[in-house]
Amino acid sequence: MSIDRDTLLFFDSSCLVAAAGSPTGGSGFLLSVCARGYLKAVVSQPVLLEAQKNIQSKLGDKEIKRLYNLISIVPFSLAPLPNREEFARLEKLVNKKDVHVVAAALEIHAPFLLTLDKGFALEVNKANLDVQAFSPGEFIKSALPNHADYRSAKD
């Protein structure tokens, strides 16, 4: 699949927490790629709230400020919440606690969902949906090289 500046990456809360805790890691790098306009970052309101809650309970003030800074510099698109029928359909395919993530990614037609939860990624990919789940590292190694502007995006 070719990737370009219009390609949507849906970020799970685990990636936002990771970027706030370690800005030079894979999640932070991909958010910087989005901030520079090479890809489009997407989240949902529940994902943002979950990330904020997890950072406040597990990390600290420095990391929550980093999250707020990311929100201000990365031009995130906000995915709408899908209808109840879609939630019900997806609950049969992925675990109930993460169904909102998959539903939002599908609602906005994001081809890629980024998560650090390996079990969740496996569930999404086994469900054969219109979204592929990757860890940030996997995306950087396997999908990002297909970007039309890969050489300038990786710098």
pTM: 0.92
pLDDT of 96: 83
| pLDDT 10s digits, 85-133 | 877 788 788 888 888 899 999 999 999 999 999 999 999 999 989 999 9
CATH of domain 8-153: 3.40.50.1010
pLDDT of 86: 77
Strands, E, within the chain: which ranges?
8-11, 40-43, 77-78, 112-114, 132-134
Residue in the block written with tokens 């950087």: 140
pLDDT of 124: 93
Q: Where are the domains of the chain?
A: 8-153
Hey, what are 70's tokens? 């990311």
| pLDDT 10s digits, 21-56 | 988 899 999 999 999 999 999 999 999 999 999 999
pLDDT of 94: 80
pLDDT of 89: 82
10 Å CB burial of residue 7 (0-12, 13-18, 19+) is: buried
The CA-atom distances, in angstroms, between 1 and each of 10, 23, 97, 124, 146 are: 16, 27, 29, 18, 7
Hey, what are 24's tokens? 């030079």
pLDDT of 72: 92
| pLDDT 10s digits, 62-80 | 999 999 999 999 999 999 8
